[in-house]
Structure 1
Amino acid sequence: MNVKVMVMGASGQLGREIRQQFQGCYDLDAPGLDITDYPSVKDRISEINPSVVINTAAYTNVEKAEEEELTAFQVNAIGAQNVAIACKRVGAKFVHISTDYIFDGTKSAPYEEFDSPHPLSVYGKSKLWGEKLVEAVGGESFILRTSWLYGEGHNFVKTMLKLADERDKLSVVADQYGTPTYTKDLVWVIEKLMQTDFYGVYHASNNGSCSWYEFARKIFELTGKTVKVEPVSSAEYPTKAERPRCSVMENKLLKLRGLDVMRPWEEALQDYLENAVH
């Protein structure tokens, strides 16, 4: 009998990738629930009785979160805890997705799992609260912090390709650093972890780092686009939400466990551009 896996937020980039990779291998349930509605979450999880629940549902609009703080916290913190509680009630393993934005970006080396978080934005704070509330439930949980995700749906890679077809010149921020992460690689890690009892907080991004400017340059290099790309400072593009200057993370715990199957970001990007972008 197939293992039952429930996916919250199955219509998003990561949720779609999970459905694509897990189809036929697991008994999948993608209910489309509002995770802020605890009775609905509890009832569905009790009814399905899954072995694993993966929560990819989140409020991810970093800018809008500054004005919609309550909503961001309800989804990213209370929603995450709702799913964790319902999982604990039925003995299901819980995989929760978090973010590099829980860090302030001031560390001179890549962040490790036990570095102290210090979020700069409402979004980052709400995701950190989510982590803390999931841990407080005390269930069998894996918290995976990832960064700069792209895959199915709207993302930076597709935006850059679209703009390259429309313009001769693009300006891209060159003083914010992180790690682009292909959803395909992240799902590999999720699948490996959920087959273990190694509960805890993990960093799970592709390996290596770059600025948004370098990311854009690599996208155009791999696709043969000739658009001119100019580096600009983040100060030239002021935003409501403050973002970390350097949120590069080290997959330390995955490496220690022998579970770091994440490729260098350039290699993963090439795979995505050759096989997934249409």
Structure 2
Amino acid sequence: MKFAQPLAVHQTNIPGLLVIDLPVHGDNRGWFKENWQREKMLALGVPDFGPVQNNISFNASAGTTRGIHAEPWDKFVSVASGRIFGAWVDLREGTSFGTVFTAELGPDQAVFVPRGVGNAFQSLQDGTAYTYLVNDHYSPEAQHLYTFLNLADETADIYWPIPLAEAELSEKDQKHPRLADVTPMPPLKTLVLGADGQLGRALRQQLGTAPNVEFAGREDLDLSMPDAYTGRNWRQYSTIINAAAFTDVDGAETPEGRRAAWQINVNAVTQLARIATEYRLTLVHVSSDYVFDGSSELHSETELVSPLGVYGQSKAAADAVVLSTPRHYILRTSWVVGDGKNFVRTMVGLARGGVAPAVVNDQYGRLTFTQDLAAGIQHLLSTGATYGIYNLTNDGDSRSWADIAKEIYGLLGQPRDSVTGVSTAEYFAGKCAAPRPQHSTLELGKIKSAGFYPQPASQRLAEYVRDEVSAWRVREALSEKRT
């Protein structure tokens, strides 16, 4: 055993498997060590894995061998007395599946074993004891989530200091499958809420059909109901993407709408933030330009919120709640366009119907197409970008709603001057309407510095209008065929 060595963390050839040198202080009375020191270890790269249970394994005689078990939680293992030989095999889905690492450990070292990495320990001395912290509570029902590998697997080819024929093994461990027959442990799950909305549909396209991604629309999971947050083993998730929201800006100004806006946009988000904090999940939350009053022509992520109406107030309140969670991405966006009811689709319909609309010309911003918003979310998650607030819209010049409407008409071969620009006050005269920010343009420097470059809004608009025209033609052809 080494005394007074500095605390150090060493990477291994298995991603996420760490060996930690522990400072041990000893004299003629024995020795003392800080077995788990969260602050110091986090600073050196050990994950903040949130242990909830401490177990001790005592091995009466040398040669006692246990494993190879891959559990559905993280472990921090250290020796209390004696010495052990440890063998770890990556049993997770991915390119590192089957990778092996071995080491001999005494009280002066520990190892962090990430979820899905199989571990086995062989005691090298009589009276060996080791302790391990885990970040989920053990239950017999969790056994079906384990992945096992045979200790004698020829592919892993582990050299056991005490040959297995001479070691003490359980009958169960001897019956575990060889590597070729092992089903890899899947990654932790991602839950997408609001999966039936415009952004939710784009996330379905972006994230595909991976078995570790769950999509929940309102019929699957109603965030207004208390039982929406129970009945799940949240420790089997890594991420919640909240694409659900109450977005009826004008309706939020009514008594019923106000309650609905706060229930979905604030109360539900508070529940999600509590879960994310407790279980150390990443919470992705979609926010809005309506958190600002629009007095600034360009809004950065650091600007103080100043919402004008109930909808904006509820979104600003949700942002404050999400900011309290350790692992969060807040995506502020504006003027969203996707597969659903939206401004562009409405203008296409009016143009095709020969309508000459009056459109607001004193509100300015950028369109956000959901395919780019979904891609930006995936980029932040896949690259492990720094947590925080990110503005994300499509790129290009700031334009008014009337400017965009004119461009749509032009793309459809209609006269651009069919669109008449009017002020916000003129457009909403005599109507019950929420206040709107005059300027909704969001600064995009931070998301670009994270390596994501949104496509120009003009390019996406042309593509969207083209696809809308194609869809109209298909529907017309089908209608004609039926008649």
Closer/same/farther in 2, CA of residues 168 and 64 from structure 1, 3 Å limit:
closer
Instruction: From 264, 276, 279, give the equivalent of 1:75.
Output: 264
Instruction: From 401, 410, 419, give the equivalent of 1:229.
Output: 419
Q: How many residues align?
A: 274
Aligned partner of 1:252 in structure 2 is: 445
Preserved contact between residue 394 and residue 454 of structure 2 (Cα < 8 Å):
yes
User: Aligned ranges for residues 196-235 of structure 1 at < 5 Å?
Assistant: 196-208=384-396, 209-226=398-415, 228-235=418-425
Preserved contact between residue 77 and residue 126 of structure 1 (Cα < 8 Å):
yes
Preserved contact between residue 379 and residue 452 of structure 2 (Cα < 8 Å):
no
Aligned partner of 1:21 in structure 2 is: 206
Aligned partner of 1:274 in structure 2 is: 466
Aligned partner of 2:75 in structure 1 is: none
Alpha-carbon separation, structure 1, partners of 2:460 and 2:235: 34
CA shift, 1:232, in A, is: 0.8
- Name whichever of 111-120 and 164-173 sits farther off: 164-173
Preserved contact between residue 240 and residue 283 of structure 2 (Cα < 8 Å):
yes
Aligned partner of 1:126 in structure 2 is: 314
Alpha-carbon separation, structure 1, partners of 2:407 and 2:211: 35
Structure with greater Cα Rg: 2
Preserved contact between residue 19 and residue 28 of structure 1 (Cα < 8 Å):
no
Aligned partner of 2:362 in structure 1 is: 175
Closer/same/farther in 2, CA of residues 201 and 220 from structure 1, 3 Å limit:
same
Aligned partner of 1:64 in structure 2 is: 251
Closer/same/farther in 2, CA of residues 242 and 146 from structure 1, 3 Å limit:
same
Question: What's the secondary structure of 1:51's corresponding residue?
Answer: strand
Question: What's the secondary structure of 1:184's corresponding residue?
Answer: helix
Aligned partner of 1:263 in structure 2 is: 455
CA offset digits 1:194-229 (Å, max 9, x no partner)? 121411011001112210001111112223234711
CA offset digits 1:11-67 (Å, max 9, x no partner)? 1000011012211346221233122334422433x2582222110100000000001
CA offset digits 1:167-196 (Å, max 9, x no partner)? 341111101111111000111110010121
Aligned partner of 1:37 in structure 2 is: 225
Higher-RCO chain (CA-CA 8 Å, sequence separation at least 6): 1
Alpha-carbon separation, structure 2, partners of 1:88 and 1:117: 24
CA shift, 1:261, in A, is: 1.9
Alpha-carbon separation, structure 2, partners of 1:145 and 1:42: 28
Question: What's the secondary structure of 2:213's corresponding residue?
Answer: strand
CA offset digits 1:130-186 (Å, max 9, x no partner)? 0111112x2311000000000111111111111112234111110111111100011
Alpha-carbon separation, structure 2, partners of 1:50 and 1:202: 23
TM-score (normalised: structure 2): 0.54
Gaps of 5+ in 2: 1-92, 94-185, 472-483
TM-score (normalised: structure 1): 0.92
Preserved contact between residue 113 and residue 252 of structure 1 (Cα < 8 Å):
no
- Name whichever of 121-130 and 158-167 sits farther off: 158-167
User: Aligned ranges for residues 23-172 of structure 1 at < 5 Å?
Assistant: 23-25=208-210, 27-32=212-217, 33-44=221-232, 46=233, 49-67=236-254, 68-107=257-296, 109-136=297-324, 138-172=325-359
Preserved contact between residue 35 and residue 83 of structure 1 (Cα < 8 Å):
no
Supply the AA of the counterpart residue of 1:241: A
Q: When you count strand as a share of all residues, which structure comes out higher? A: 2
Preserved contact between residue 235 and residue 279 of structure 2 (Cα < 8 Å):
no
Closer/same/farther in 2, CA of residues 274 and 84 from structure 1, 3 Å limit:
same
CA shift, 1:256, in A, is: 2.7
Q: When you count helix as a share of all residues, which structure comes out higher? A: 1
Gaps of 5+ in 1: none
Alpha-carbon separation, structure 1, partners of 2:333 and 2:267: 20
Alpha-carbon separation, structure 2, partners of 1:40 and 1:56: 15
Q: Tell me how large the CA RMSD over aligned residues is.
A: 1.9
1:243 aligns with 2:470: no
CA shift, 1:117, in A, is: 1.2
Closer/same/farther in 2, CA of residues 229 and 23 from structure 1, 3 Å limit:
same
Closer/same/farther in 2, CA of residues 168 and 275 from structure 1, 3 Å limit:
closer
Alpha-carbon separation, structure 1, partners of 2:328 and 2:211: 19
Alpha-carbon separation, structure 2, partners of 1:26 and 1:104: 42
